[in-house]
Structure 1
């Protein structure tokens, strides 16, 4: 069977799963007004001013149109959302509508804390979001979140340094290979002079960066067997990205060692000052750069390097879920349908400087302009896939206790590849085994 036929069958299967028993009462515009005096709590993790303003404005619009189903906006935080939700679930005080990320849902979904959305969502919404996005929020037989915002990892580059060097400028259709990226970094570093680097890798949180970029090189790390259990195996595909970063820092001297423990924002002053030519960052960092760049500083958005699999990347979209204990699931689903109408999804995407998952929203001309790199991001949207660890129970513990310190030590040169592999696999499988008995 041809690849196109397989994809069509997959899309059909996923949509059938979502629409099983669908009530179809969401219409993307608030639906009928209810006189029941229902009150819903919507916990949002928006934090940038534009995003917070967009979310609050949409809640206000909903409340004006639906006086019988009032939504209260509750501000949450990305820094503490997992523990905060765990506490609220245990105490029976979880918000009705929950904003989170797909890679944080597995334990809550398998633990019965989130409502299975099959039968609750409108056909308009389920058909507008592609099957590969729905898979990021599918755990076992159920769907536990609506993926609505996503971002590729890109290279934010100093236009003057890169273009004046004479290196080939990568495009979404023809990105740099990992080998070419390493060679380009050597050229740029040599041209920039002493004390400057082609690349700054801000890797305070190294795990998702490494795994998601590694997908293009064939890396998966997590493998599900016929019994449904997941085990960790480290292959040559899994080694491409970490070896590139390790070698750039420790052998080529083309990447700054001082940024390894930094966050993305921490690397920006050096970038603006010409110390670094390129910084791999999430697409949404463009907002900070646009607001903070010195007058006259020219920057550009380039696709991240890719392996033999092309520019495919793992991604963990932002999601909207419904608490399993919510007594108003249908009303909560209607509110989600309103928030994620094509027009509103564009507003949320622009507020967060991210990309919508919805096909109709992504086609909006304002999200395909060359200015600020929107067109580059939109061109990469079709290559985003479910992150390798998306549905793995125990991933948060493995990430915090095993993978983060292992990658950090490897990138700094404190351990070699053999020790990295040993920790990720041996110690990692011990952690996962506790969740799969």
Structure 2
């Protein structure tokens, strides 16, 4: 549920990013200020359609406003599908609010574009060092945002099914190797019980492609871009290891292990027994545990040769560069950094608490809890998406290439075309100039 709502927000980034990249650095802080008026600070959030999370935001605002008399924060909530477009339009008009939330992978783009200002939350109750690294938004060694939670990918399975076919249930210390994973899929397919034994959400759209599949690409030894300077994708996205990943990924379809376009609700299909292994996330953990009980196996990502990987970063809070009262905005940010609010967010959204102190207070996520494995995965395996302002464009190109590969395109050609398009975008926008 949590990631599905995030997909709607991130899906609009492709449109927003196109405008953002044209706007470029023209939306810096040199223009008119906005978002603060006589001690009143405006706060924007994407949570208009998410009452549970929005209620936590409202609580923090109410508590902050009642804790002092110097500042007053006023909330404006947007539908998720229009949020990013609203931010881009406001940035172009230099009318951004003082406080706003941003999806973690987009922090570098918004920071580069001049939308965001670096933040200083030193002295707050929860230090940044206490958080999961993936919940802090950085660009060029500066902190621009932080989040209260994250989510984690994993494979869901039934222990009884794995045991029936003699398939080892892996652990965080000994995940499946590629050979073991391929063998497991072959056994499950041969059983005749599953048309497609593996479910990985291939019918999804938008950010799911980068979030769900690029960690596997990275575990093969490839990546979306060369992270040494973020200046080129050629040789990395279309390099030997990346092509090996893409060839393997396509083979899942050709061998009948994976549908090239999954159904509307992959998790529902998994619970109905249509698939044996589901590459999904912690947002469905409670639902799966309620349905399957002790038969549920939560399995770590496969080690394809370069270590297990999962995606990292979710929604985070930031301060706009055009805010005329940055002291007030940072006062709210610091106030919000209390363990009780990290706990409130996790309980309301069913997500991973961003700190160990909060996890101890959330049922199931405390040490020894049935969902604590997700906290461990997020800490041990999370790879944040490339910290470059080109990321929204990279993500869109990777989605196109992956869809083409699933449909039967030559892996090397598809990745090569994506790499060339990304390199052209990098050069056109002069990202290396900051």
TM-score range, shorter chain: 0.7 to 0.9
2:404 aligned with 1:409? yes
What residue in structure 2 maps to residue 321 of structure 1?
318
How many Å separate the matches in 2 of 1:95 and 1:145?
Answer: 15
Q: Is the 8 A contact 1:152 1:381 kept in 2?
A: yes
For the aligned residue pairs, the C-alpha RMSD in angstroms reads 3.0
Shift of 1:199: 1.0
Residue 40, structure 1, aligned to residue 41, structure 2: yes
The residue that corresponds to 1:334 in the other structure is 331
SS in 2 for 1:137: strand
Counterpart check, 1:344 vs 2:341 = yes
**Per-residue Cα deviation, 1:324-359 (whole angstroms, up to 9, x for no partner):** 111222222222223231221122122222223334
Separation in structure 1 between the aligned mates of residue 140 and residue 129 of structure 2, nearest angstrom? 22
CA shift digits 1:80-129 (9 cap, x unpaired): 43322111212233232211122112221012210111x45436444434
Q: C-alpha separation between the residues in 1 aligned to 2:358 and 2:217?
A: 28
Q: Give the 3 Å change call, closer, same or farther, for CA 99–38 of structure 1 in structure 2.
A: same
Q: How does 1:195-344 map to 2 (within 5 A)?
A: 196-203=195-202, 204=204, 205-224=208-227, 229-232=231-234, 233=236, 234-239=238-243, 241-250=245-254, 252-259=255-262, 266-287=265-286, 289=288, 293=291, 299-344=296-341
- Unaligned runs of at least 5 residues, structure 1: 1-35
Deviates more, 1:316-325 or 1:280-289: 280-289
2: distance between equivalents of 1:68 and 1:214? Answer: 50
Deviations 1:214-259 (A, max 9, x none): 3333322311556x73443233433454333321111x21122331
The Cα of 1:431 is off from its aligned counterpart by 2.0
The normalised TM-score by structure 1 is 0.78
Asked if the contact 1:311–1:380 (Cα under 8 Å) also holds between the matched residues in 2, the reply is no
- Label 1:242 to 1:341 Cα distance change in 2 as closer, same or farther (>3 A): farther
Q: CA deviation at 1:162?
A: 3.0
State yes or no: 1:157 paired with 2:192.
no
1:393 paired residue among 383, 389, 393: 389
Q: Name the structure 1 match of 2:56.
A: 54
TM-aligned CA deviation for residue 388 of structure 1:
4.1
Secondary structure of 1:306's match? coil
- Whether the 8 Å contact between 2:147 and 2:315 is mirrored in structure 1 is yes
Match of 2:17 in 1: none
| CA displacement at 1:168 relative to structure 2 | 0.7
Structure 2 gap segments, 5+ residues each:
1-36
Distance in 1, matches of 2:177 and 2:225, equals: 24
Aligned to 1:368: 366
SS state at 2:116 partner: coil
| 2:139 and 2:388 in contact (8 A); partners too | no
- The 3 A distance-change label for structure 1 pair 244 and 73 is farther
Question: For residues 357 and 150 of structure 1, what CA distance do their matches in structure 2 show?
Answer: 6
Q: CA deviation at 1:286?
A: 2.7
Shift of the 179–76 alpha-carbon distance from structure 1 to 2, 3 Å rule, reads farther
Contact 1:152 1:384 in 2 (8 A): no
Q: 1:224 to 1:369 in 2, by over 3 A?
A: closer
Contact 1:249 1:257 in 2 (8 A): yes
Q: 1:426 to 1:333 in 2, by over 3 A?
A: same
2:427 alignment partner in structure 1? 433
Aligned length: 387
- Write out per-residue CA displacement over residues 138-176 of structure 1, whole angstroms, 9 at most, x where no aligned residue: 212432112432222111223443343331111212111
Partner of 2:67: 65
Alpha-carbon distance in 1 for matches of 2:57, 2:163: 39
